[in-house]
Amino acid sequence: MSKERHSILSRLVKRIMGGVSVFILIAVSILFSERESIFSRALSPTSTDAIHNVDISSDSSTPNFVRPYRWTSAPRKIDPGQVGLPRISSIEPIDHYQTLLEIPTNVRTVDAVTFSVDKSSYRVAGIRSIPLRMVCTNPDGRRWSCGQHGRMALRSLLVGKALQCLPLKADVAAAEIDCRLSGAPLGALIVGSGWATPTAPMSDVLAQALARARTEKAGAWASLEGVPD
């Protein structure tokens, strides 16, 4: 009895497997038929022309970067201004003057270009102070300590203000910094007031400030002796 059942089960399994095999063969055949049909339509000149030569210039639903152009095998010049592709937003220039230096009321000025805040000393880059011991003579013959006036002028200019600075040299007794005060170059403000002269190489901004100080007889330029180089 068991042998008969085993025989029946074996025949049943063989029939099922045979049916599955036939099903797989049919599915594979259909799949390859569809792929051949797709490739045939894609390579057909008639279908290609129908796809690529459709007039879409009047279709408002077509994106701007597609509408003006049709399929072509010849080189064609494209006007970027007419493509309508998304543009990268303009990049804002980097402001290198990021270091904010708050000047307290007890700031100490050494000369017309050097000052100290807390325990740190700073020197304005690109300019040279008139000598601290310099004595000037007015046209009326009156003598005055223009070097000390320059030192006090720097204090009056800085006290209570906030500077935007670019550190240049920190490994010196007084760190060399390039600063702006309310957007204006600090060095040009000092030179234009007649308390300092530019060092070489001289920038155009400092050259203009120096010319203005000389013309207006500002600061030490009011002296009969002039300002030493």
| More confident of the two residues 74 and 6 | 74
pLDDT per residue as tens digits for the range 188-226: 999 999 999 999 899 999 999 999 999 999 999 998 777
**3-state helix/strand/coil string of the chain:** CHHHHHHHHHHHHHHHHHHHHHHHHHHHHHHHHHHHHHHHHHHCHHHHHHHHCCCCCCCCCCCCCCCCCCCCCCCCCCCHHHHCCCCCCCCCCCCCCCEEEECCCCCEECCCCEEEECCEEEEECCEEECCCCCCEECCCCCEECHHHHHHHHHHHHHCCCEEEEEEEECCCCCEEEEEEECCEEHHHHHHHCCCEEECCCCCHHHHHHHHHHHHHCCHHHHCCCCCCC
Q: What is the pLDDT of residue 12?
A: 61
Residue 173, Cβ neighbours under 10 Å: how many? 7
Pairing of strands 114-117, 175-181: unpaired
Q: Looking at per-residue confidence, does 160 or 81 come out higher?
A: 160
Question: In the predicted model, is pLDDT for residue 39 greater than 60?
Answer: no
Compute the radius of gyration of the chain from its Cα atoms.
43
Listed by start position, the domains of the chain span 2-69, 99-222
DSSP sequence for 128-144: EEPPTT--EE-TTS-EE
Residues 196, 150: contact at Cβ < 8 Å? yes
Once rounded to an integer, what is the mean pLDDT over residues 21-36?
65
Q: Is residue 47 predicted with pLDDT exceeding 50?
A: no
> Which of 115, 119, 122 lies closest to 154, judged by CA?
115
Q: How confident is the model at residue 66 (pLDDT cuts 50, 70, 90)?
A: very low
pLDDT of 154: 97
Q: Which CATH number is correct for 99-222, 2.40.50.90, 3.30.2320.30, 3.30.70.20, 3.40.50.12160?
A: 2.40.50.90
Q: How high does pLDDT run on average in the chain? A: 78
Looking at the DSSP bridge assignments, the partners of residue 167 are 177
Give 107-141 pLDDT, tens digit per residue.
999 999 999 998 899 999 999 999 999 999 988 89
pTM value > 0.75 = no
What per-residue confidence (pLDDT) applies to 125?
94
**Between helices 2-43 and 45-52, what is the axis angle to 10°?**
60
